[in-house]
């Protein structure tokens, strides 16, 4: 199966909850549900587009630390608290993935861990 490489973003919640931002095993990289938190603060309060851009930037950085690129992403899953914001979220997703075109899922959820968070995204990548 290969060595397990854990990627941390230094979030205080990672050791408490017991998770990694990303894990690489062999040629697969899995990125955990990622929200628009930076330095303990929500980025883009009230703005689903800005939150999605921040999330995908964090995912991109985690992928790179695991030796992968956005071009290696084969799937994203987007959890949103208000599906009526799908166009804003989709536009930001398209700015990162327009040419890559991974399979993608977007579903509405009742809530995320903080009421100011509007979007959470997971990603899976396969490195060639």
Can you give the pLDDT at residue 1? 62
Number of domains within the chain: 1
Question: What's the domain range around 13?
Answer: 4-126
pLDDT at 108: 98
- How far is CA 26 from each of CA 43, 45, 87, 97, 100, rounded to the nearest angstrom? 33, 37, 35, 23, 21
Q: How far apart are CA 92 and CA 5, in angstroms?
A: 29
Supply the pTM of this predicted model: 0.94
SS (H, E, C) 22-46: EEEECCEEEEEEECCEECCEECCCC
Contact 12, 33 (CB under 8 A): no
pLDDT per residue of the chain (128 residues) written in tens, 0 to 9: 679 999 988 888 788 899 999 999 999 999 999 999 988 899 999 999 999 999 999 999 999 999 999 999 999 999 999 999 999 999 999 999 999 999 999 999 999 999 999 999 999 999 98
CATH of the domain at 28: 3.30.1330.40
* Cα-based distances in Å from 79 to 2, 16, 127: 30, 22, 25
């Amino acid at each position: 199966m290969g060595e397990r490489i854990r990627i941390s973003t230094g979030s205080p919640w990672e050791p408490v909850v017991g998770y990694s931002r990303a894990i690489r095993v062999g040629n697969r990289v899995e990125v955990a549900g990622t929200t628009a938190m930076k330095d303990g603060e929500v980025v883009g309060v009230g703005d689903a587009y800005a939150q999605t851009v921040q999330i995908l930037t964090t995912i991109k950085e985690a992928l790179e630390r695991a030796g992968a690129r956005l071009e290696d992403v084969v799937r994203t899953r987007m959890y949103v608290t208000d599906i009526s914001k799908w166009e804003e979220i989709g536009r930001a997703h398209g700015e990162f993935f327009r040419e890559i075109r991974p399979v993608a899922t977007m579903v509405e959820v009742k809530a995320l861990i903080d009421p100011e968070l509007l979007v959470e995204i997971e990603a899976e990548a396969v490195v060639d």
